[in-house]
A and B are shown apart, each in its own frame.
Chain A
């Protein structure tokens, strides 16, 4: 098992550019999520999905879109990048789903994004 994989590892964008951060897992996990990590603020939830075709907003969803067409993939799209989106982005997955999901989440290696 590769676990949770993320690409790219590093990315530099100019303000206004768009891009997609890729996330894939090979553990057949139903639950997937995206976090951003900023200095002094821990990790904050952007969007999450409890299964293919289902997505929901987290704590800081503005400026980001997601979709979940397959169980394996959960891409995060930045439609018009802003300097405030400079951060480290983590994708995570877990086996459980729905209310009462308390399964351990497995994290990817992260993507460091800089927006100039």
Chain B
């Protein structure tokens, strides 16, 4: 069975600084996708970034980038130049060919001014 682990329940960072959120997963599959979702206080789930396992290049979206280590089954999210609007819960998620998205338990990120 596939599992996703986020070992940091809470993190904090000062505005304009950089923070990295950790995610590890367990799978025997070779082809799969990984996602980071953001959930602000409004509760809506917002896609931050997506990584295809067959791609060696790490995905980037503006201030958000990932460090994808396939052999280590690690998928961390780096947020550069943190902004107050980045305050949210962040969920790591795993998807392969079963159409079932598997989520981690989330990391609550607080950005301080």
Chain A residues at the B interface, C-beta cutoff of 8 Å: 31, 33, 35, 40-45, 48, 50, 58-59, 88, 90, 92, 97-102, 104-110, 112
Given the known interface contacts A50-B99, A99-B97, A102-B33, the answer about A43 and B44 at a Cβ–Cβ threshold of 8 Å is no
Q: Considering the complex of A and B, which 8 residue pairs feature the smallest CB-CB distances, nearest first?
A: A107-B45, A42-B103, A43-B103, A102-B33, A42-B105, A110-B43, A109-B44, A99-B97
Size of the B side of the interface (Cβ < 8 Å), in residues, is 25
Question: Judging by beta carbons under 8 Å apart, are A101 and B106 in contact?
Answer: no
B44 to chain A, nearest CB (A): 5
| Residues of chain B lying within 8 A (CB to CB) of residue A41 | 105
Task: Give the CA-CA distance A101 to B97 in the complex, in Å.
Answer: 6
Chain B residues at the A interface, C-beta cutoff of 8 Å: 4, 32-33, 35, 37, 42-47, 50, 52, 91, 95-101, 103-106
Question: Judging by beta carbons under 8 Å apart, are A101 and B105 in contact?
Answer: no
In chain B, what residue has the closest Cβ to A31? B99
Question: Judging by beta carbons under 8 Å apart, are A104 and B50 in contact?
Answer: yes
B24 to chain A, nearest CB (A): 14
Sample of 15 more A-B contacts, CB < 8 Å, known A44-B103, A59-B100, A110-B43 = A33-B99, A43-B45, A45-B101, A48-B99, A92-B101, A97-B99, A99-B99, A102-B32, A102-B95, A102-B97, A104-B47, A106-B47, A107-B46, A109-B43, A110-B45
| Residues of chain B lying within 8 A (CB to CB) of residue A48 | 99-100
| Residues of chain B lying within 8 A (CB to CB) of residue A101 | 97, 99
B64 to chain A, nearest CB (A): 15
In chain A, what residue has the closest Cβ to B50? A104
In chain B, what residue has the closest Cβ to A58? B100
B75 to chain A, nearest CB (A): 15
| Residues of chain A lying within 8 A (CB to CB) of residue B37 | 107
| Residues of chain A lying within 8 A (CB to CB) of residue B32 | 102
Given the known interface contacts A104-B35, A104-B50, the answer about A42 and B45 at a Cβ–Cβ threshold of 8 Å is no
In chain A, what residue has the closest Cβ to B95? A102
Task: Give the CA-CA distance A61 to B35 in the complex, in Å.
Answer: 24
Task: Give the CA-CA distance A100 to B54 in the complex, in Å.
Answer: 14
